[in-house]
Structure 1
Amino acid sequence: MPSRKRAGRSFSRRFILFALFIVLAILAYTGAWFYAADTLERRTITAIENLNVGPQRANCEEPTARGYPFRIGLFCRSVFYEDAKNGVSISAGAFRSAAQIYQPMRTVGELDGPARIATPYLPAIEAGWENMRVSARLTASLPERISSEAKNVVLTLDDESRQPIARAETLQAHARQNGNDLDIALISEALTIDSGLTNGSVIPAFNGELLVTVDNGVSLAGFDAPGLRGRSGTIEKLSLKIAGEEAGLILKGPIHIADNGLIDAELRVTVNEPRKIAQLVGEILPEKRDEIAGITAGLANLGTAPTLPVNIRQGRVFVGFLPLGSIPPVQ
């Protein structure tokens, strides 16, 4: 009988110690989480303050760490970035991010619209969407890779006219470090251009894909990075196809932007169903209809998917020996 009592007291003592250990572990974990959350908030504020010392300005309104107990992430009521030197500014709504506590360097997030985008030589644009998700694999300095996807995107002029520009079912953007180079991918699905921008011509929806490698492009991700002048890279693939069809263009080749902003490139363009593409381009650019018709007549003898050399010399565009126009200097 006494042995049973001693066994019961021993079990009760172990249970109490185990319960106490769990309580202490929870308290320690909670303290560590809130310490990490406070560190995240302070580092965010410090990074923004350091950035605002230079020609750039950025803001995360009311940065707050959330996600306890199993996640941690940064919340901003709104976000803003401006590069006064290059005339670029972007502002958007609330931003929410989250990472599993055991994988803090892999984070996902959401950004609320609308966003206002201003760039030099172009009118300001407002972008709206139903849902935008962002994911990133972070390192101690710059993200190793970052991706975003937005659904039902609508672009309009941000002025009194509120002129529609374009809409797309899906827009994706991806970037990753490749050594010192930067790989960038932009993908659109069912992109339509408003007829007000195409001389009243209604063009069908099309899918687009851009894959480009920027030489030594990782430095562009720095806030104090110079502009695109003096940069070079390779267009791995630039594809524009009518949605649901094979008619379209595929462009590849190296490209270089000189110190004066003018482009030099040696490109190869494959045209699928050239007659259909020529008809669409002629409707959009009626002043170039004769040149396009002349090119199409030559392509008709080369099959349904001919490939042409397209050279850009100091901003002047040539298809073979035929000039098509010029590209203004890049800033």
Structure 2
Amino acid sequence: MTSNDERPPNFLRRLFWLGVFIVVLFGLYSAGWFYLADKVKSEAGKAVAEFNGNGIEADCVNLTVSGYPLSFAVTCDSLAYQDDSRNVAASLGSLKAVTHITQILSPGADLQGPLRTSVPGMAPLWIDWDNLRANVKLSWPLPRRVSLEAEALSAQTDPADGTDPVELFSAGTAVGELRPNGQDIDYAGSFTDLEIDPGAIDGRVLPPLDG
């Protein structure tokens, strides 16, 4: 082998230190990710615990944080809230909220139904969907945008009390967006194939609506 084929010692040394730098940098990143994941989980647990007391119960069942190394994913098997003093209750299926490292200020969440609600003066409701996604553009002090998009959205009275449920409405899609506007909040929304059950409007029959 001629001298022209040999790697200069300085090149090998620089290559070695580059490898060391990459390993150290990855180790620091990994430590930071797991520290932040633990912090997110503990703060979320504290937030849920702060709701509890004085007749209020809140729960995020099986709260977990995952997604290493390129994202954070917070999941709950189910969500529940109950306020005995106001006789208000709500429950929801699973929640998965994800934010990617490259888009840390744009988290998104997928929610599974049904949403069940109980409020004084109203029949308990059962709201369900095939897909429901929420997206947020974070800013300070308020988000720049909060949007919801649902497919195959429907609502009926909750059959849990043993009575036959009353169908209320169904829609092929429903989209809504909230934006702060000074001291106000602007809302824009749309829906397709909205069908309102005649039983919910005193027997009147309406055609499918878009709006």
* TM category, shorter: 0.7 to 0.9
Q: Does 1:198 align with 2:206?
A: no
Write out aligned runs for 1:197-276 (5 A): 197-208=200-211
CA contact (8 A) 2:166 2:200 kept: no
RMSD of aligned alpha carbons: 2.5
1:116 lines up with 2:116 in the alignment: yes
Contact 2:73 2:96 (C-alpha < 8 Å) held by counterparts: yes
Q: Deviations over 1:169-210 (max 9, x none)?
A: 1122322322332333443322111122234443111234xx
| Superposition map of 1:1-331 within 5 A | 7-53=7-53, 56-139=56-139, 143-159=143-159, 160=162, 161-208=164-211
Q: Secondary structure, in 3 states, of the residue corresponding to 1:38? A: helix
Counterpart secondary structure, 2:210? strand
Specify whether residues 104 and 91 from structure 1 end up closer, same or farther in structure 2 by C-alpha distance, changes over 3 A only: same
Please say if residues 142 and 180 of structure 2, whose CA atoms lie closer than 8 Å, have aligned partners that are also in contact.
no
Structure 2 gap segments, 5+ residues each: none
| Higher RCO structure (Cα 8 Å, ≥6 apart) | 2
TM value normalised by structure 2: 0.85
Show the counterpart of 1:296: none
Q: Secondary structure at the match of 1:25?
A: helix
Structure 1, unpaired ranges of 5+: 209-331
Cα distance in 1, alignment partners of residues 179 and 78 from structure 2: 26
What's the CA shift for 1:83? 4.2
Distance in 1 (alpha carbons) for counterparts of 2:111 and 2:13: 52
Deviation at 1:91, TM superposition (A): 1.0
Find the aligned partners of 1:58 and 1:182 in 2 and give their Cα distance: 27
Rounded Cα–Cα distance in structure 1 between residues aligned with 2:72 and 2:117:
29
- Number of aligned residue pairs: give it: 208
Q: Between the two proteins, what is the percent identity of the paired residues?
A: 30
Output one character per residue of 1:140-172: Cα deviation in whole Å (capped at 9) or x when no partner.
665443111110012121123122221011122
